[in-house]
Amino acid sequence: MLFTTQQRQGGQRYNPKVLIGNWREDVDLDQIRFKDFLKRREGGQLVVHQIQEKLQKSLTTVGHSFSGDGKLHFGDRIMLLNKKTNGFLVTDMGDKIEGDEGVAVTASPQYRSPVARSVFILQRFSEDDGFPGDYLHYGQQFTLTVHPYLSQYPLYLHSLVVSPMRFARFSRHQEVCMAPRKNANTIWVIEHSDPKVRFEMNGHPVGANQAVVIKHNLTGQWLAADNINYKNDYGSEFEVCSHSFLNHKKAQQLSSEKVGKLTVDIPSRHQGDENVWMFVTSNDPSAAQENLPAEGTSIGPEQLLSRIRQVLLERGGYGIRGLSKIFKNMDANGNRLLDPEDFKWGLINYGIILNDSEISTLVSCFDRNKDGIVNFDEFLTTIKGPMNNRRLRLVALAYEKLDKNGDGQVTLDDIARTYDASRHPDVVSGKKTDAEIFREFITMWDTEKPDGIVTLQEFARYYEDVSASIDNDDYFEAMLRQAWKL
The Cα 417–Cα 399 span in angstroms is 14
CA distance 441 to 372: 34
Beta strands in 430-471 (DSSP E): 453-454
Alpha carbon distances (Å) from 279 to 44, 131, 177, 484: 38, 20, 18, 41
Give 368-389 pLDDT, tens digit per residue: 666 677 777 777 777 766 777 8
**Who's near 207: CB < 8 A, 6+ residues apart?**
70, 71, 72
pLDDT number for residue 192:
92
pLDDT top residue among 1 and 254: 254
Please, are residues 86 and 109 in contact by the beta-carbon 8 Å criterion?
A: yes
Q: Which of 74-78, 180-184, 350-354, 481-485 has the lowest mean pLDDT?
A: 350-354
- Closest of 464, 310, 293, 322 to residue 394, by C-alpha: 464
Percent of the chain with pLDDT over 70: 72
Q: What is the pLDDT of residues 34-77, one digit of tens each?
A: 777 677 666 666 565 566 677 778 888 898 999 888 999 999 99
* pTM of the predicted model over 0.75: no
Q: What are phi and psi of 439, to 5 degrees?
A: -65, -45
CA distance 82 to 108: 9
What is the C-alpha to C-alpha distance for residues 384 and 391, in angstroms, rounded to an integer? 14
Q: What is the pLDDT of residue 297?
A: 47
Mean pLDDT of 237-258: 77
CA 130 to chain centre: 39
Higher local confidence (pLDDT), 337 or 53 = 337
Is residue 2 pLDDT above 60, yes or no?
no
Half-sphere exposure of 242 (CA within 13 A, CB side): 26
Residue 353: pLDDT band (50, 70, 90) is low
DSSP state of 35: H
- Confidence class of residue 364 from pLDDT cuts 50, 70 and 90? confident
pLDDT at position 268 is 65
Q: Which position has the higher pLDDT, 220 or 478?
A: 220
Triad 150, 383, 298: Cα angle to 5°: 45
Quote the CA–CA distance of 57 and 47 in Å, as a whole number.
16
CB contact burial 228-247 (16+ within 10 A = b; e otherwise): bebeeebeebbbbbbbbbee
- Is 144 a residue whose pLDDT tops 80? yes
**How much of the chain is helix, strand and coil, in % rounded to 5?**
35, 20, 45
> How far apart (Å, rounded) are the C-alpha atoms in residues 61 and 442?
34
Average pLDDT, the chain: 78
3-class SS at 171? coil
What pLDDT, on a 0 to 100 scale, did the predictor assign at position 368?
62
Distance CA 117, CA 59 (A): 7
Tell me the per-residue pLDDT of 275-296, one tens digit each, with 9 for 90 and over.
Answer: 999 999 998 888 888 776 554 4
Q: What is the pLDDT of residue 55?
A: 78
The pLDDT tens digits of the residues spanning 145-189 come to 999 888 877 899 999 999 988 899 999 999 999 998 889 999 999
Q: Could you tell me which residue, 105 or 438, shows the higher pLDDT?
A: 105
| C-alpha to C-alpha distance for 366 and 377, rounded to whole angstroms | 10
Is 271 in a helix, a strand, or coil? strand
Residues whose CB is less than 8 angstroms from the CB of residue 59 and which lie 6 or more positions away in sequence, other chains included: 111, 115, 116, 117, 353
What separation in angstroms does the CA of 365 have from each of 299, 317, 375, 438? Answer: 13, 26, 10, 36
Q: In this predicted model, what pLDDT tens digit does every residue of 423-457 receive, in sequence order?
A: 666 677 677 777 777 776 666 655 455 556 777 77
pLDDT at 362 over 50: yes
pLDDT > 90 fraction of the chain, expressed in percent and rounded: 26
Mean pLDDT over 478-483 rounds to: 76
Residue 232, helix vs strand vs coil: strand
| The pLDDT value given to residue 296 | 43
What is the mean pLDDT of the segment spanning 1-9?
61
Q: Residue type at 69?
A: D
CA 181 to chain centre: 28
The backbone torsions φ and ψ at residue 87, rounded to the nearest 5 degrees and listed phi first, read: -120, 155
Per mean pLDDT, which of 127-131, 351-355, 393-397 is the most reliable? 127-131
Per-residue pLDDT at 274: 93
Which segment, 110-119, 320-329, 334-343, 385-394, is predicted with the most confidence on average?
110-119
